[in-house]
Each structure stands twice: as C-alpha cells, then as structure tokens.
Amino acid sequence: GGEFEKMPISYSDTTIFQKETIMQMFSEALKKVSETSEIIENILEDFSHTIEGKAATLISMDGLVFGNFTDSETDKALLNNTALIMQTLSNFHNSIGLIREPSITLNFPLNGFTIRGEKLFEYSELNIPVYLWILSENVDLLYEKIDYFKQQLLPLINLFL
C-alpha cells in the first residue's frame, strides 16, 4: 500500500467560466480542513431550528461559503445559488455607487417561503461583507433572533479566518 491510500479524495464540478463554482470548490476544501466550519454548521443548524428555517448558509461577498445547514439538497442548492446571484447583484449595485443594503429579502408567496440575506459583519483588511442567508417559511422569527446569532457566531468566524 502507498502512503496516499488513506488520503480522502473528493471532486467538484467546476468551470473557469463561472467564478462561483471555483469559490464553492475552495469553500468545500476549507471546510474539510477546518474544525471551525463544523462548529459554524452546528450553530447554523441550531439557528435554523430556532427560526423554523429550511436552510441556512454563511457566505462572504467574495463568494466563500463558510458553512451551511439544510435537511434537503434541493433547499441547499436553492439557497446557495440564490444567495450567490443576489450577492453578485449587490456587488454590481455597490460598484455603480449605490449603498450596500444590510439585508436583502426575496418573497416567494406562491411557493410559501422567503429567502433573506442579513449582513453580519465584515472580515479581513478588505472589509468583505459576510451575509447569513436563510430559507424559511417563518421569517418573522429571524428578526427576533438575529442579534443572538451575531453574538454567538462572530468570534468563531474570526477564528476561522
């Protein structure tokens, strides 16, 4: 047996034409080597249950996914793709001189859910915004619990970076 037999290997579906796919690959790799991401994902899970959310993800405006939680791959894909597209739109708005919105909400009344992005803080010397994205059928609970979430998560993210 060779020295690499016990090394875990995984693959990502990426394309150089979509930066988001590359960032998602790096995010997955970071999460595999960092214990903090497991802690973050536990907090996201706890928070999702607290607000009756179906999915939660923490993504920086430069496209790094710090962690996510969901019971369903469909909800995860729905939330992550929506978040990345909305953040691209937010970056464009910012680049033409608009002030970045601290929260972004998309309502899907016919489907009975809401996706909300909430700016939590900025990281690194570049002041890159980090948003919590939630897919929920009960968004009012998010408003009540967001401060508790910021206090619990912020120190962990700073460890992660």
- pLDDT tens digit at each of 161 positions of the chain: 566 677 666 666 777 776 667 666 766 666 566 666 777 888 889 888 888 899 999 998 888 888 889 989 999 999 999 999 999 999 999 999 999 999 999 999 999 999 999 998 887 788 889 999 999 998 788 778 888 888 877 777 666 65
The CATH number of the domain holding residue 67 is 3.30.450.30
Length, in residues, of the chain: 161
In a domain, 60, yes or no: yes
Domain span including residue 151: 19-160
pLDDT at 32: 62
pLDDT at 136: 93
Torsion of CA 83, 139, 51, 79, to 10 degrees: -20
Domain count, the chain: 1
In a domain, 77, yes or no: yes
CA–CA gap between residue 134 and residue 106 (Å, rounded): 10
In a domain, 25, yes or no: yes
In a domain, 12, yes or no: no
In a domain, 3, yes or no: no
pLDDT at 135: 95
CA–CA gap between residue 30 and residue 42 (Å, rounded): 16
In a domain, 7, yes or no: no
In a domain, 65, yes or no: yes
CA–CA gap between residue 14 and residue 7 (Å, rounded): 22
3-class secondary-structure state, position 69: strand
In a domain, 71, yes or no: yes
- The pTM for the full model equals 0.74
